């Protein structure tokens, strides 16, 4: 059995969110954070970033050597091929923070400038095996994404914007966790912008409680021509599910809105359009979101259940070997 999930398997796992009834009062807890409260400028508030020490990096080097010595292709490696005897407890802390805490974490200090590109890919894949179960990121089965400007036209409404330098609007990916390993940063721009979907929900409750119930009913989500058979053009997905005190949110405005192009999708009602516009306006409030610049050797882990993520546009180097480049993993966990 492969150590990874297919695109369909991972999507089904992610969207199988338990639900009891709509939440009609604000939620508290670590996932209900506000960006300025976590700003790097506030001393003692940056505990969402952890830096590996020399001993931990050495353990990763040894694990990487073991994985390389196995002779296996990257996609066939298992967690046992990448032994982390002392780091296991630290990884458990990361998983707890992502699944039960704020929903995000940044790990710094990976020696990506010293490692080859093959070793960076091998490392990130194997680390992902310790964090969860990797899955395909598109119907074509790509398991390790390369987030870089490929020259695709960002004016093309169906292009995946991570392949361009353009702004990317708030969204969630169809996996419990997304991880990004920064290999090279842009000279200007390209900030990762994140916001707590729990806090956005609380704000919506305060401003427009009349719209909240609609989040628990399905919106058509455009598949953006990615179904090879051509038979599936959109899927019904409810943005919010609530169970046992936990709100789980999937939000992707671009895909909700572009589904309107299909003849069998009903036009938005006035309330539905107001809901999307208000929700996004709240998420774009500087009093709520947190911007961060990922540097080479940083890993950002995010829960797609409690965090929305976006990216600002960036300028890039002209030389291909210096262009902004991140590796991306999608993981299924127990969330």
pLDDT tens, position by position, 175-227: 999 999 999 999 999 999 999 999 999 999 999 999 999 999 999 999 887 66
- Distance between CA 146 and CA 133 in Å, rounded? 18
pLDDT digits (tens, 9 = 90+) for 294-335: 999 999 999 999 999 999 999 999 999 999 999 999 999 987
Average pLDDT over residues 73-88: 96
Residue 207's CB is within 10 A of a number of other CB atoms, namely 13
pLDDT digits (tens, 9 = 90+) for 224-259: 876 656 678 899 999 999 999 999 999 998 999 999
Does any domain span residue 2?
Answer: no
More confident call, 1 vs 130 = 130
Does any domain span residue 263?
Answer: yes
Opening angle at CA 39, ends 36 and 41, nearest 5: 125
CATH value at residue 128? 3.60.130.10
Contacts of 103 (CB under 8 A, 6+ apart): 31, 97, 196, 302, 303, 305, 306, 307
Global pTM exceeds 0.85: yes
pLDDT at 183: 98
User: What's the total number of domains in the chain?
Assistant: 1
- Distance between CA 44 and CA 53 in Å, rounded? 19
CA distances from 87 to 106, 125, 127, 134 (A): 16, 16, 11, 19
Q: Which of 301, 313, 294 is nearest to 185 (CA)?
A: 294
pLDDT at 169: 92
Does any domain span residue 72?
Answer: yes
Does any domain span residue 60?
Answer: yes
pLDDT digits (tens, 9 = 90+) for 11-65: 999 999 999 999 999 999 999 999 999 876 554 456 899 999 999 999 999 999 9
Given a cut of 60, is residue 269 above it in pLDDT? yes
Does any domain span residue 1?
Answer: no
Range of the domain at 46: 7-332
């Amino acid at each position: 059995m492969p150590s990874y999930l297919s695109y369909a398997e991972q999507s089904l796992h992610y969207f199988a969110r338990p639900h009891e009834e709509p939440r009609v009062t604000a939620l508290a807890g670590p996932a209900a954070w506000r960006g300025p409260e976590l700003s790097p400028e506030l001393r003692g508030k940056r505990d969402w970033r952890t830096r590996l020490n020399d001993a931990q990096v050495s353990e990763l080097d040894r694990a990487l050597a073991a994985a390389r010595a196995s002779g296996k292709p990257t996609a066939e490696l298992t967690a046992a091929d990448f032994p982390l005897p002392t780091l296991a407890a630290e990884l458990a802390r990361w998983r707890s923070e992502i699944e039960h805490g704020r929903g995000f974490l940044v790990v710094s200090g990976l020696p990506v400038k010293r490692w080859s590109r093959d070793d960076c890919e091998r490392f990130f894949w194997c680390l992902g095996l310790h964090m969860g179960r990797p899955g395909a990121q598109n119907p074509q089965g790509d398991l390790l994404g390369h987030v870089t400007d490929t020259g695709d036209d960002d004016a093309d409404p169906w292009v995946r914007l991570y392949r361009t330098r353009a702004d990317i609007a708030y969204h969630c990916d169809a996996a419990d966790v997304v991880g990004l390993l920064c290999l090279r940063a842009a000279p200007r721009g390209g900030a990762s912008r994140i916001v707590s979907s729990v806090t956005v929900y609380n704000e919506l409750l305060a401003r427009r409680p009349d719209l909240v119930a609609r989040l628990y009913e399905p919106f058509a989500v455009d598949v953006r021509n990615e179904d090879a058979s051509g038979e599936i053009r959109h899927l019904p997905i409810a943005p919010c599910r609530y169970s046992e005190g936990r709100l789980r949110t999937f939000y992707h405005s671009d895909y909700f809105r572009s589904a309107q192009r299909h003849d069998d999708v009903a036009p938005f009602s006035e309330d539905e359009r107001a809901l999307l516009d208000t929700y996004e306006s709240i998420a774009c409030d500087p009093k709520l979101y947190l911007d961060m610049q990922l540097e080479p050797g940083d890993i950002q882990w995010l829960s797609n259940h409690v965090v929305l993520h976006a990216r600002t546009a960036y300028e890039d180097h002209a030389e291909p070997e210096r262009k902004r480049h991140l590796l991306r993993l999608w993981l299924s966990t127990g969330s």
